[in-house]
Structures are given as structure tokens and as C-alpha cells.
Amino acid sequence: MPARPTKPDLADEVWRDLAKGSFAVLAHLTDEGDPRSSGVVYGMVDRRLYVAVAPDSWKARALGTGDEVSVTVPVRRGGLLSLLFPIPPATISFHARVTVHSAESITRSSFPKELRRLLPDTGSPICILELTPEGQFLTYGVGVSLADMRKPAIAAGHVPTA
């Protein structure tokens, strides 16, 4: 049985998993104090996640620069076994600070090449939410065997985001 990665190794594995991923669940409180979450497609550059949203979407209207959100990224596990058995994904959860890039400030040519897939082909306006992880990553099932995912004391981990 492979040993649980040490903290620096787990941090590297978390960043690799985030870079390979593209789907996350973004959660925050609305202006009225109601909880809200939605699935988003993201891209990552320099340890920041970027999400494209319509300027009139609830995320663009409710989130401002400096706001804090919660992010959870599922990490597929199990390979072929996941087709035969109900193997839940591992998860990486963290808090992130939001920076809003308005539709007026974004052009296709000024946007990093790695993130251009987030831009709509139609040329319709978008806002970009830049999410900077803060504090610690809370992991579940990252860096452990599938069998050990059933043991919370082994499967859960914490590692600094920086």
C-alpha cells in the first residue's frame, strides 16, 4: 500500500490536479445572505483559477473584487473501476479571493493563450472571475489509495495554498 504523501508532495499533487481539472463548484452568499453555488468551467494560470461568466449572470452581479468564495474541485479516481463500481471523486476544497475583470477590460488578444478556450466564439461580452486560493486546501482522497478513501482519518488532508 502506498504511503500518504508528505505535506510538500501533497501540495504538489493538489496543484497538479487543479491544473489538470476544468470543472469546479463555486459557492458564496448572495447580497441577501442566501447561499448559492454553481458548477463552473475554469482554466488555471500561475496558481490562479479563471472563470468566464456572462456580465448579467448572478455571479457577475453578486461577486465583486475582494469577495471571498468557496471552491470545490472534484478529482476523478478509479479509472476503469469507476465504470463498474460507484467510486466517488476525490475533492480539493479551498477559499479564494475574487478579482473581477470586466467585459470592457478583456480582449481576445490580451487574454493568456492558455485561457482562450474560456472565451465564447460568438464574441459576446464576458466577465472573468480570477480566483486566488487562500489559506489551506482541504483534500479528501487525494494522494491515497481507493481503499483508504473509506477511512476519513487517512483520506482527509490539509495543505497550505502557498
Q: 3-state secondary structure string, 38-92?
A: EEEEEEEECCEEEEEECCCCHHHHHCCCCCEEEEEEEECCCCCHHHHCCCCCEEE
Q: Which residues contact 138 (CB under 8 A, 6 or more apart)?
A: 92, 93, 94, 156, 157, 158
Strand partners, 39: 25
Strand partners, 138: 93, 158
Q: And the C-alpha cell for 161?
A: 495554498
pLDDT at 113: 81
User: pLDDT under 70 in the chain at which residues?
Assistant: 1-8, 108
Q: Report the distance separating Cα 148 and Cα 145, nearest Å.
A: 5
pLDDT at 2: 54
All structural domains of the chain: 7-160 (2.30.110.10)
pLDDT at 112: 82
Residue with cell 478513501: 149
pLDDT at 142: 93
Cβ neighbour number for residue 36 with a 10 Å cutoff: 15
Q: 25 φ, ψ to 5°? A: -110, 125
pLDDT at 162: 85
Q: And the C-alpha cell for 45?
A: 494560470
Q: Report the distance separating Cα 161 and Cα 68, nearest Å.
A: 15
pLDDT at 132: 98
Burial letters for 85-119: b for 16+ Cβ neighbours within 10 Å, e otherwise?
Answer: eebebbbbbbbbbbbbbeeeeeeeeebeeebeebb
Contact call for residues 69 and 96 (beta carbons, < 8 A): yes
